[in-house]
Amino acid sequence: MNMHAQPQRTPAETALIDAFGERLSLLPGDGAVMLKRDDAIEAIKHGLPTRRVESWHYTDLRRLLTSVPDFDPAAATKAIAPVIEGSAVLPLLDGVSTPKLPEIEGVTVQRLSEKLTDGSVAPGLDPYGADDAIGALNTAFVADGYFVDIADGAELDKALELQNLQSAGQTHVRLLTRVGDGAKATIVERQTGEGAALVSSVTQLVLGEGAEVTWLIVQEQPDTATHLAQFKAHLGKNSRLTLFVMNAGGKLVRQEIVVRTTGEGADFKLRGINLLAGDTHTDVTMVLDHTVPHTTSTEVIRNVVTGKARGVFQGRINVHQYAQKTNAKMACNTLLLSDDGEFSTKPELEIFADDVVCGHGATVTEIDHDHLFYLMARGIDEKSARGLLVKAFVAEVIEELDDEAIVDALEARLDAWFVAHG
């Protein structure tokens, strides 16, 4: 235990606290929002989490966050082509939403800066726990984002892409989405940019009764950026959420996924691929709460580690006492391709109900030599054979998505990564 009550602040902590002082007058919000911001910065003043905080065990943010860039008013970036062709795009350029909101039938879009100013989003700004550093950081600084409301029964015929792009400095955005009863939608959350930026992004999603959503997070930050993201969802009765997360970039990345089933019959699917290269650190942490009876979930995470990359997957499934008949399965498979790479995983089960079927599996291994031999015996050179096997290992997760347009789009991203790092 630390003997010192108040350890000295790191340069990053100091920079964040100073930045808050400077930015305060520019941040939108009514009294309630500003109070939440004050509470949040207080939490940061107590220090960023270290490995002693269990949920940050493998990502010592205090040590890893070595510097924080200043806000850069000159930053200017442009919207890019969407992942899925023909999607409606909602861009957030250097943390600022567009005033020209697209007209989509059944969808109401509002700029979050307005909702902060009128205080209507204040109740949702609380961090979800004392160890929620990303929530606190975002609440303190969030200036913009979108509020997307999909009407009851609306079935979107084209995908919606939320683009969070930045060229420098810091951006702190929040994406709030409500999907009405029986509505259907495919939403892409694109996280990319250029330069050594610090990004915090919090997504909150609420699914109404019988809603069906496929949500894709495509994170391709440059290997100089720090990306701290959170995805929180509440799943209503008989709703279905398929969350696909692809991490293929960033210097320091933490993607938190916090999901709660709040209605019976809800189903959650998480499919993730983490492609790690260079001298980077990527952490995917999931907390899944089954709070009501008869809900199901499956999670499959595939990781490829090359170079000096360090990867982390923490997944905790909590089955509450009342949540009988829960069926939850989780798997995390990792291919370690380099001697300097590292992968740590902590799949947890916390179970308070007895009539459940829960399981998890985790493996860490290198490429199977028999598989390699099989391909090479057929005249394929080693490099190509390895490439084929690695691609097959991760593509399996993508192919499960069952929508040709999405599968093609994601495989294209996958290929782009292999070209750059293969």
Q: Which positions touch another protein (CB under 8 A)?
A: 1, 3, 54, 57, 321, 324, 334, 336-339, 341-366
CB of 316 to another protein, least distance (A): 9
Burial string for 52-64 (b: 16+ CB within 10 Å, else e) reads ebebbbbbbbbeb
Contacts of 174 (CB under 8 A, 6+ apart): 112, 121, 138, 142, 145, 201, 202, 203, 204
Which residue, 110 or 338, has its beta carbon nearer to another protein? 338
CB of 370 to another protein, least distance (A): 13
CB of 137 to another protein, least distance (A): 25
CA end-to-end span of the chain: 43
CB of 198 to another protein, least distance (A): 28
Which residue, 181 or 342, has its beta carbon nearer to another protein? 342
CB of 359 to another protein, least distance (A): 4
CA 278 to chain centre: 20
Which residue, 34 or 364, has its beta carbon nearer to another protein? 364
Which residue, 294 or 413, has its beta carbon nearer to another protein? 294
* CA angle centred on 368, ends 363 and 369, rounded to 5°: 150
CB of 139 to another protein, least distance (A): 27
Length of the chain: 422
CB of 342 to another protein, least distance (A): 5
Which residue, 39 or 348, has its beta carbon nearer to another protein? 348
Give residue 307's region: left, alpha or beta (phi > 0; psi -120 to 50): left
CB of 356 to another protein, least distance (A): 7
DSSP 104-162: BTTEEEEEHHHHHHTTTTGGGGS-SSTT-HHHHHHHHH--EEEEEEEPTT-B-SS-EEE
CA 359 to chain centre: 23
3-class secondary structure, 293:
coil
Which residue, 103 or 354, has its beta carbon nearer to another protein? 354
Taken in order 223, 224, 226, 229, the sign of the CA dihedral is: negative
d(CA 136, CA 139): 5
Which residue, 370 or 402, has its beta carbon nearer to another protein? 370
Which residue, 3 or 26, has its beta carbon nearer to another protein? 3
